Chain A
Amino acid sequence: MSARHAPAAGLALVLGLAVCGIAGARAADAVDPKADMKAFQAYFYEKFPNVKHEDFVNGPYSMDEGMRKQWEEKEEFPPYDFAVEKGKELFETPFKNGKTFADCFENGGIGVRQTYPRFDAKLGEVVTLEYAVNRCLTENGETPYSYVKDDMAAVTAYMAFTSRGKPFAITVPDDPRALAAYEAGKQYFYTRRGQLNFSCASCHVQNPGRRIRAEVLAPALGITAALPIYRSEWGGMGTATRRYMSCNSQVRGTPLAPDDPLYRDVDYFLSFMSNGLPISGPGARP
């Protein structure tokens, strides 16, 4: 705040400056998710005029012809197929109390992935699909799943599969808590961290389509639409949380705990930025 650097003047003057400072900061930091989204999408559409808008959800394959060919062949026999089948089974198997996942979601949990993450006014926090799945389990007296893979990845893969093609419909309500969560996610996304001093944006906003070692970087726009993913590098499925954690460690930073609310906020921010783009998950990535 500017007041701190003001030379020792009369107390009244210092106070006056401080008040001005706070008021000024508030106006400049006004959170406007819709304006952010417009600018965010326009940036990508301008940077990649030849990529169809709905193709951004296919990540690196929208950027690299060779990778696209490999992927198309792979999609004939998708590696996430087993996870979708397992997810369907878990989804339909009743809990000990006789209820199923279908009782926890609108429309029985079918074709609803595009509405997550969402802000829950009652809880006062962001609920991602993974968080909703685990809340459903604990509310029904079951043990929650790991946030990174296995059963969680399978159930969310099945739910994404039933929602394919539906456009992301994320809202940030005019609630100071929702705006704060959105802002926290945005801050996290643009903050540099780790020994390499990279932010999420360094790779996925500044350099999508370029190579980092053998990999082609995916654009941040639409990146959450493909989750969960089968990554050949992992030799298995991983959730959005796993993706964020591995990004953190790839820049030689320390990942947050898998259930950290900040990961949910990042998911909220990124999915809001991708509003209107179709769900393509579960995806397959190298």
Chain B
Amino acid sequence: MPSTIRVRATASGDQTDVQSLIQHPMDSGYVKDAKGELIPPHYIETVTFEHDGKVVLTAFWGPAVSKDPYLKFKFSGAKKGDELKVTWTDNLGKTDSSVAKIG
């Protein structure tokens, strides 16, 4: 199965810009389908970004975050060639992770 995560991280000087896109339905649990039945809640609860074994960002998400969420942030202390690991976990216990090289 193809990865649900896209990450791009670029370092310039001490600062690293990170952009990520995660493919996820992010169903809130309040929306009905075409038959009028509720679509059960299915959303990402946590996303973590790790650099060199250290968590640089943790996001606590919930049902209000939209489908296929996009996230952009900056952090310092990384250099080109380092690895950045992204992991998400949803309310059904599903998880996916991906490792990107900082360019």
Q: How far apart are B61's CB and chain A's nearest CB, in angstroms?
A: 17
Interface pair A86/B21, CB less than 8 Å apart: no
Q: A10 to chain B: which residues have CB within 8 Å? A: none
Alpha-carbon distance A79/B19, docked complex (angstroms): 13
Interface pair A77/B21, CB less than 8 Å apart: yes
Alpha-carbon distance A56/B33, docked complex (angstroms): 37
Assuming the A-B contacts A77-B6, A86-B2, A89-B2, are A235 and B23 also in contact, with contact meaning beta carbons closer than 8 angstroms in the complex? Answer: no
Identify A81's interface contact among B6, B19, B66, B67, CB under 8 A. B6
Closest A residue to B72 by CB, please name it.
A77
Binary flags per residue of A150-175, CB closer than 8 Å to B gives 1, else 0? 00000000000000000000000000
Cβ of A139 < 8 Å from any Cβ of B?
no
Cβ of A76 < 8 Å from any Cβ of B?
yes
Cβ of A190 < 8 Å from any Cβ of B?
no
> Given A79-B68, A235-B66, A235-B67, 13 more contacts at CB 8 Å?
A76-B8, A77-B6, A77-B8, A77-B19, A77-B70, A81-B21, A82-B2, A82-B23, A85-B2, A86-B2, A89-B2, A235-B68, A236-B67
Q: B2 to chain A: which residues have CB within 8 Å? A: 82, 85-86, 89
Alpha-carbon distance A81/B6, docked complex (angstroms): 9
Alpha-carbon distance A79/B6, docked complex (angstroms): 11
Alpha-carbon distance A76/B20, docked complex (angstroms): 11
Closest A residue to B67 by CB, please name it.
A235
Q: How far apart are B25's CB and chain A's nearest CB, in angstroms?
A: 9
Closest B residue to A78 by CB, please name it.
B21
Q: A76 to chain B: which residues have CB within 8 Å? A: 8, 19
Q: How far apart are B3's CB and chain A's nearest CB, in angstroms?
A: 9
Q: B66 to chain A: which residues have CB within 8 Å? A: 235
Alpha-carbon distance A236/B67, docked complex (angstroms): 9
Q: B4 to chain A: which residues have CB within 8 Å? A: 82
Q: A77 to chain B: which residues have CB within 8 Å? A: 6, 8, 19, 21, 70
Identify B68's interface contact among A82, A85, A86, A89, CB under 8 A. A82
Alpha-carbon distance A133/B6, docked complex (angstroms): 28
Q: How far apart are A242's CB and chain B's nearest CB, in angstroms?
A: 15
Q: What are 15 A-B pairs with beta-carbon distances under 8 A?
A: A77-B6, A77-B8, A77-B21, A79-B21, A79-B68, A81-B21, A82-B23, A82-B68, A85-B2, A86-B2, A89-B2, A235-B66, A235-B67, A235-B68, A236-B67
Closest A residue to B68 by CB, please name it.
A79
Alpha-carbon distance A86/B8, docked complex (angstroms): 20
A70-93 contacts to B, CB under 8 A, are 76-77, 79, 81-82, 85-86, 89
Closest A residue to B23 by CB, please name it.
A82
Alpha-carbon distance A81/B66, docked complex (angstroms): 17
Alpha-carbon distance A235/B2, docked complex (angstroms): 20
A231-265 contacts to B, CB under 8 A, are 235-236
